[in-house]
Amino acid sequence: MLIARFKKALISCSLGAFVVSSLWLNVANASNQEVKVKDYFGEQTIKLPVSKIIYLGSFAEVPAMFNTWDRVVGISDYAFKSDIVKATLKDPERIKPMSSDHVAALNVELLKKLSP
């Protein structure tokens, strides 16, 4: 039961990161706008433009593809080993590692502190 909850939370979090990335790209010049997204945890309101992003799971290459490193405040540990991340991330010490090889080990306190 607990594993199922973590799995749903991970899927929701990953989907949320993807949705936020997509929203940021589509409304990069937006001001004082917001969008409502319904996920596993209910309806969330995201204020645009997005100023802080945390990428978890397999979305670590997204900031490299869309050149959004300036807004990224956290990524999965394994992302720092990715060649595309190494090639495009100019200041890795600024970005906090979010988990140690498994999202179940996610540091929830750090996630809350970074307030993406």
Per-residue confidence (pLDDT) for residue 59, from 0 to 100: 76
Per-residue confidence (pLDDT) for residue 105, from 0 to 100: 65
Distance separating alpha carbons of residues 19 and 5, to the nearest angstrom: 21
| Domains, the chain, ordered by start | 2-114 (3.40.50.1980)
Segment 18-41 shows an average pLDDT of 65
Mention every residue, 6+ apart, whose C-beta is less than 8 A from residue 107: 98, 99
Give the pLDDT confidence of 54-97 residue by residue, as tens digits: 887 777 788 888 888 999 988 888 788 888 888 998 888 998 88
**68 vs 112, residue with greater confidence:** 68
Distance separating alpha carbons of residues 69 and 77, to the nearest angstrom: 16
Segment 42-57 shows an average pLDDT of 84
Indicate the pairing of strand 53-55 with strand 72-75. parallel
Distance separating alpha carbons of residues 75 and 44, to the nearest angstrom: 21
